[in-house]
Amino acid sequence: MKKIRLGIVGCGIAARELHFPALNELKDLFEITAVTSRTRKHAEEFARLVGNPMVFDSFDELLDSELIDAVDLTLPVELNVPFTEKAVFKKKHVICEKPISINVENGKRLVDLYKKTSQVIYIAENWRHIKKFYKIKDQLYKIGKPLFFTWNIWVRLDVNNKYVRTEWRQKPKHIGGFLSDAGVHHVAAMRLLFGDIKWVSAVDRKHSDYLGDSDFLSALFEFGNNVIGNYVVSYSINGEEKFEIIGDKGKIKLIENKIIVNEEVIEIEDGLGYKEEFEDFYKVVMGEKENNLGSPFEALKDLAFFEAALKSKGNKVNISDII
Amino acid sequence: MKKIRLGIVGCGIAARELHFPALNELKDLFEITAVTSRTRKHAEEFARLVGNPMVFDSFDELLDSELIDAVDLTLPVELNVPFTEKAVFKKKHVICEKPISINVENGKRLVDLYKKTSQVIYIAENWRHIKKFYKIKDQLYKIGKPLFFTWNIWVRLDVNNKYVRTEWRQKPKHIGGFLSDAGVHHVAAMRLLFGDIKWVSAVDRKHSDYLGDSDFLSALFEFGNNVIGNYVVSYSINGEEKFEIIGDKGKIKLIENKIIVNEEVIEIEDGLGYKEEFEDFYKVVMGEKENNLGSPFEALKDLAFFEAALKSKGNKVNISDII
């Protein structure tokens, strides 16, 4: 089987703790042949961890090295669009960490490029590869017509959290800080279950002083299939988790990896989806499947939810007006 | 102690099952001296239950009888305003079941009358007399600054429910059917805890075909003290109850009569508040206290929430624009 020669760009938390463990299980599909980071020291440390690929001082040198077929971008969000554009210009395939970009306008550049290029542009939204959401989707028929979905998420990051301490997260150039950065995962999962979101009315708040931007959102919205959604998330204060889908003939709850369908309990063995994500990227690059799960357009829709929600201040904002 | 001679007008569920048991415990304060209902048979049955007061064929005759100091109106909502106006014109005090009226415009007539008359106009909102909400209010300081309140209520009335079968509820002239009829209780409790509501953005739905009007509401709103609220209610479909107040230093949950303040559990012996309500009405009539709990203006604010929510369709509606 042909291996994809991969250059990893950015050697931070995502590269070390999320992508590398997955790639390490997929040595028959990927070979890490090059790395680069903001500082050489950082890149060299990472290189030692992943099997001593070539270390480059700059992204340009890595792209020009002829050592790679694709790049894996794990960068501050504001670099996603320019770095992807440069890689595609150099005829490299791209897998790039979510969120797609700092805002919808900026993200549209990748959607436009995606339509024109024959290179793969794959936005890595690992929650589109988490099994439990597909399992829930399979169970929906048991509750009749879904009518209402509520999701309350309390992340409660403390001041010493490794993500909180990331410099680019402390002074975010991306809209809504953690709200969009982490939140696109939640919207990806919701859209996977109920389809596109038509409009949102929301209020955001900044309750803490160490999370860079707003850290609380309460949103009311409607999916294309008329399901009404409530999504409440905070990265600082702490409430009771709730994930509940109500249909006219029953309800589904999710408690960690336990799906409760009416009275029936289904336990799911589940991971974070990174391995499945890279397997999917591989198939897309090989032309074995379409890029439905890594499509920049899907990633843009996830982000657009937050742009609409942050613009809302309690007013109704149609997603189609901003995308 | 001087007794108030009370004429009961309307002998339906509220008179029989809610008001009479309370009045029966307050024989030192009230004497039921007259009753009337839509049909004489109905009024006579009720008269036998409550100690054989005089039965009148019409409200006018009851008002002119000189047997009463006050009327207790337990009527289809659309009669609240005209009957109260007539009683006040005849120099009688009024205690009238919630909601104040069929809509805000109509209800304003009672607020205007209330400002001008020396008769008492008391809108009977028993939830303003339920102890557990005051107990919760007393506990709020333990969770720091309240930031977010969520209340999910699933009433699930079936087609044979006695309230559902009431004719005036099946073809409601009051806005939103059960949403406002039962919902003003919830808003009274919320406002008791956090004060007035500034604006609301909401979606209503009609999921059943036997509840007269919309039977589901999901609302996002903000109180004057900046607390964000989520209120979801359905009278047909069924989810998991949730009452949770989140502050920057903890949270309060209410599960039936159990208040959970952080780790502390407080059990409350509580009734429905009707006895306390009539005691309060008595004091107001006797000039012993101001009419803060039965004020038509407070009842109008409870109703205005639903008028705003039903008008919203996902848009932000300021309560001050409709009240």
Average pLDDT, chain A: 97
Do both B114 and B67 map to the same domain?
yes
Cβ distance of B315 and A316 shorter than 8 Å: yes
- Residue-wise pLDDT for A171-223, tens only, equals 999 999 999 999 999 999 999 999 999 999 999 999 999 999 999 999 999 99
Q: What is the pLDDT of residue A243?
A: 98
For helices A183-194 and A131-139, angle between their N-to-C axes, nearest 10 degrees: 30
In angstroms, the CA B151 to CA B243 distance is 4
Do both A102 and A202 map to the same domain?
no
Nearest-10 Cα torsion for A131, A137, A138, A141? 160
Q: Examine the pLDDT at B229 and tell me if it is beyond 80.
A: yes
In angstroms, the CA B114 to CA B85 distance is 10
Amino acid (1-letter code) at residue B87:
A
Cβ distance of A207 and B313 shorter than 8 Å: no
Cβ distance of A201 and B222 shorter than 8 Å: no
**Which residues of chain A make contact with B242, given a CB cutoff of 8 A?**
240, 242
Q: Examine the pLDDT at A297 and tell me if it is beyond 90.
A: yes
- Could you tell me the sign of the dihedral formed by the alpha carbons of A245, A183, B148, A228, in that order? negative
Give the closest residue to A1 by CA, choosing from A31, A35, A41.
A31
Q: Examine the pLDDT at B225 and tell me if it is beyond 90.
A: yes
Q: What is the pLDDT of residue B270?
A: 87
**Residue A104: CATH number of its domain:** 3.40.50.720
Do both B95 and B209 map to the same domain?
no
- Residue-wise pLDDT for A109-154, tens only, equals 999 999 999 999 999 999 999 999 999 999 999 999 999 999 999 9
Do both B215 and B248 map to the same domain?
yes
Amino acid (1-letter code) at residue A252:
I
Do both B209 and B144 map to the same domain?
yes
The ipTM is 0.94
In angstroms, the CA B310 to CA B320 distance is 15
Give the closest residue to A299 by CA, choosing from A83, A94, A88, A125.
A125
Percent share of chain B, pLDDT over 90: 98
- List the single residue in A237, A240, A247 with the smallest CB-CB distance to B248: A237
Q: What is the pLDDT of residue A270?
A: 87
- State the pairing for strand pair A93-97/A70-73: parallel
Q: What is the pLDDT of residue A69?
A: 98
Using the Cβ of A33 and the Cβ atoms of chain B, whether some distance falls under 8 Å is answered with: no
Do both B152 and B246 map to the same domain?
yes
Q: What H or E segment, with its residue span, contains residue A55?
A: strand A54-56
**Which residues of chain A make contact with B251, given a CB cutoff of 8 A?**
238-240
Do both B70 and B112 map to the same domain?
yes
- Residue-wise pLDDT for A241-279, tens only, equals 999 999 999 999 999 999 999 999 999 988 999 999 999
Give the range of the structural domain holding residue B242, as residue numbers without chain letter: 129-271+302-321
Around Cβ B246, how many Cβ atoms within 10 Å? Answer: 28
Q: Examine the pLDDT at A6 and tell me if it is beyond 90.
A: yes
- List the single residue in B201, B232, B316 with the smallest CB-CB distance to A150: B232
**Which residues of chain B make contact with A210, given a CB cutoff of 8 A?**
none
Q: What is the pLDDT of residue B91?
A: 98
**Which residues of chain A make contact with B233, given a CB cutoff of 8 A?**
none
Do both A164 and A111 map to the same domain?
no
In angstroms, the CA A96 to CA A296 distance is 10
Average pLDDT, chain B: 97
> Averaged over B96-105, what is the pLDDT?
98
Q: Examine the pLDDT at B1 and tell me if it is beyond 80.
A: no
> Averaged over B162-173, what is the pLDDT?
92
Using the Cβ of A262 and the Cβ atoms of chain B, whether some distance falls under 8 Å is answered with: no
Q: What is the pLDDT of residue A29?
A: 98
Do both B123 and B133 map to the same domain?
no
Do both B181 and B215 map to the same domain?
yes
Q: What is the pLDDT of residue A1?
A: 74
Cβ distance of B251 and A244 shorter than 8 Å: no
In angstroms, the CA A267 to CA B62 distance is 66
Predicted confidence band of residue A64 (pLDDT cuts 50, 70, 90): very high
**Residue A179: CATH number of its domain:** 3.30.360.10
In chain B, the number of structural domains is 2
Cβ distance of A314 and B203 shorter than 8 Å: no
In angstroms, the CA B157 to CA A109 distance is 52
Do both B311 and B170 map to the same domain?
yes
- Residue-wise pLDDT for B236-273, tens only, equals 999 999 999 999 999 999 999 999 999 999 999 989 99
Q: What is the pLDDT of residue B48?
A: 97
Grouping H, G, I as helix, E, B as strand and the rest as coil, residue B275 is helix
Determine which of A98-102, B100-104, B165-169 has the lowest per-residue pLDDT on average.
Answer: B165-169
Do both B317 and B168 map to the same domain?
yes
In angstroms, the CA A280 to CA A288 distance is 9
